[in-house]
Chain A
Amino acid sequence: DVKVTQSSRYLVKRTGEKVFLECVQDMDHENMFWYRQDPGLGLRLIYFSYDVKMKEKGDIPEGYSVSREKKERFSLILESASTNQTSMYLCASIAAPNTGELFFGEGSRLTVL
């Protein structure tokens, strides 16, 4: 079965803390993505990666960085968390490259106090 696993479902962090969100896929997909979902704003692309050690900025990269040291793992890093980064974070890998269909993980709900 296809699987995208996000290590933490719920996190609570304080302003200024460094936050790591981990994502692992078992499908040998090359393309991986990080989105955030906020009510009334839909899903917005933060960063994506098309290969190991490669990364590209999405629509809202400010305040975030990513790491892709291994093909199966794509990490999202908040260097200094702020309250406006409270959100649902969704990792995905590309399931069907011709259509763009993405397979999503279950999400990580981050609250920054």
Chain B
Amino acid sequence: DQQVKQNSPSLSVQEGRISILNCDYTNSMFDYFLWYKKYPAEGPTFLISISSIKDKNEDGRFTVFLNKSAKHLSLHIVPSQPGDSAVYFCAASGSGGGADGLTFGKGTHLIIQP
């Protein structure tokens, strides 16, 4: 049973516009939510995280919003740049702080069009 879901396998956005990537989860015990970015033939790199007690976290062009009642989070990238083209993974950790690993979604391939 998939506990972290990214329902859009791909998303195409024009350069300079806002990119919004969505993620849903089913496990209400998740404590932290994280976003990773992955280029082909490279390991994922950490982008931004949010605690379950917050509803927003911002870091430069990246903002993550958390709606606990809907079990939904989203990553906003403003403005989108060509280098943002990558696969984005949503991930969650439990109350153990991730000591037993993160649970990942299947990823969304973001394509930034010039």
Contact = CB atoms under 8 A, between A and B. Distances in A.
Nearest to A10: B41
Interface string A21-59: 000000000010101010011111100101000001010
Interface of B: 6, 9, 31-32, 34, 38, 41-46, 49, 51, 89, 91, 93-94, 97-107
Contact of B101 (A58, A99, A106): A58
B100 A97 contact: no
Nearest to B4: A42
Interface residues of A, number: 33
A97 B101 CA distance: 10
Contacts of A109: 41
Interface of A: 4, 9, 31, 33, 35, 37, 40-45, 48, 50, 56, 58, 90, 92, 94-107, 109
A60 to B, nearest CB: 12
A70 to B, nearest CB: 20
A94 B98 contact: yes
Given A56-B100, A101-B49, A101-B98, A90 B43 contact: yes
Identify whether the interface residues of A are mostly helix, strand, loop, or mixed. strand
Contacts of A35: 101, 104
A79 B68 CA distance: 43
A56 B97 CA distance: 16
Contact of B46 (A9, A90, A95): A95
A96 B98 CA distance: 9
